[in-house]
Homo-oligomer: A and B are copies of this chain.
């Protein structure tokens, strides 16, 4: 199975006074790419939400390598590095769509809530659990 990387065009309102994309926006781009990835594997957000599940962020990190600028398009690769039934671990690789230059690499982890309480997907939504278990888990890049 191959997932399509996510494309984002850097917007002017995302730039900062240094003339580059403000670092906080990459955290938002991770979210864009994650939503797109989850839809690709069969867990579209609208459907997840309609089943009463939300998935807050427990942790996020980002290593900035080179600077994206206004007008450039980045390509974002999302990889699942772990899934425990109760938690999901993802990594992100953001590269310039034209040159392939690495802009940044990051991680996020998530739990699942139903009615505001932590749940195991295994019990709460077995079909999502099966989807996530069926993914080729890739070891976390260091």
Q: Is the interface of A mostly helix, strand, loop or mixed?
A: mixed
A interface, how many residues as a size bin?
Answer: 20 to 34
From the candidates B31, B58, B62, name the one contacting A12 in the complex (CB within 8 A): B31
Q: What per-residue 1/0 map shows which CB atoms of A19-33 lie under 8 Å from chain B?
A: 110111101100110
Does A59 touch B at the CB level, under 8 Å?
Answer: yes
* Complexed CA–CA distance, A31 and B27 (Å): 14
Does A17 touch B at the CB level, under 8 Å?
Answer: yes
* Complexed CA–CA distance, A113 and B27 (Å): 23
Given contacts A17-B16, A60-B62, contact A31 B24 (CB under 8 A): yes
Residues of B within 8 A of A83 (CB): none
Give min CB distance, A61 to chain B, whole Å.
Answer: 4
From the candidates B13, B19, B44, name the one contacting A28 in the complex (CB within 8 A): B13
